């Protein structure tokens, strides 16, 4: 039976591992796209300087800005949020993360309804916090009626087995 705690826990762990693999893949793809664009812009500024289109002062400022964007935590934070957003869009389309879809789980509102991309985005950000505290945010899901992890409680969502989703 899919409703008992060991089976539910196993499904959530497997889904979580699969989702991490998918998230890392999305991260690598987006990083592979963004870094050449930044390099292209830097090269374009140098060509424009060489041809006298823009001043050395302006190129210096633009180069400092690009360097700050790439080397600072701002780039990493924005890039991480972009990856979470893309992951949330996929999750909104499937109504489950790719890992949850494979183990027949889905994310729904407390009433079992479909949820939007904004709630999924917030849920995924909060999920990072749940994981960040040694997974404590997940352990609470075995102690409440709707089996909600911390991020599920805050966003008023729950993870349900696909068979149960059809009858809710």
**Global pTM?**
0.72
pLDDT digits (tens, 9 = 90+) for 29-83: 888 888 788 788 778 877 887 888 877 777 778 778 777 777 777 777 888 888 8
Count up the domains in the chain and report the number: 1
Higher pLDDT, 91 or 60: 91
Sorting pLDDT into bands at 50, 70 and 90, what band is 3?
low
- Cα separation of 90 and 151, whole Å? 18
The residue that leads in pLDDT, 150 or 136, is 150
114 lies in which domain range? 5-167
pLDDT at 165: 44
pLDDT at 163 over 80: no
Helix/strand/coil (H, E, C) string of 120-159? HHHHHHHHHHHHHCCCHHHHHHHCCCCCCCHHHHHHCEEE
């Amino acid at each position: 039976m899919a409703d008992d705690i060991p089976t539910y826990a196993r499904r959530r762990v497997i889904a979580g591992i699969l989702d991490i693999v998918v998230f890392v893949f999305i991260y690598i793809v987006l990083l592979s796209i963004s870094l050449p664009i930044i390099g292209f812009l830097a090269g374009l500024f140098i060509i424009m300087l060489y041809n006298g289109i823009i001043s050395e002062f302006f190129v210096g400022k633009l180069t400092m800005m690009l360097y700050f964007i790439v080397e600072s935590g701002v780039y990493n934070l924005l890039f991480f949020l972009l990856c979470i957003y893309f992951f949330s869009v996929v999750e909104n389309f499937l109504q489950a993360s790719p890992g949850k879809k494979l183990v027949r789980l889905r994310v729904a509102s407390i009433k079992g309804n479909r949820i939007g991309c904004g709630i999924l985005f917030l849920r995924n950000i909060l999920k990072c916090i749940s994981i960040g505290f040694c997974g404590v945010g997940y352990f609470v899901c075995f102690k409440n009626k709707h089996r909600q992890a911390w991020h599920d409680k805050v966003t008023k969502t729950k993870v349900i087995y696909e068979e149960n989703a059809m009858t809710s």
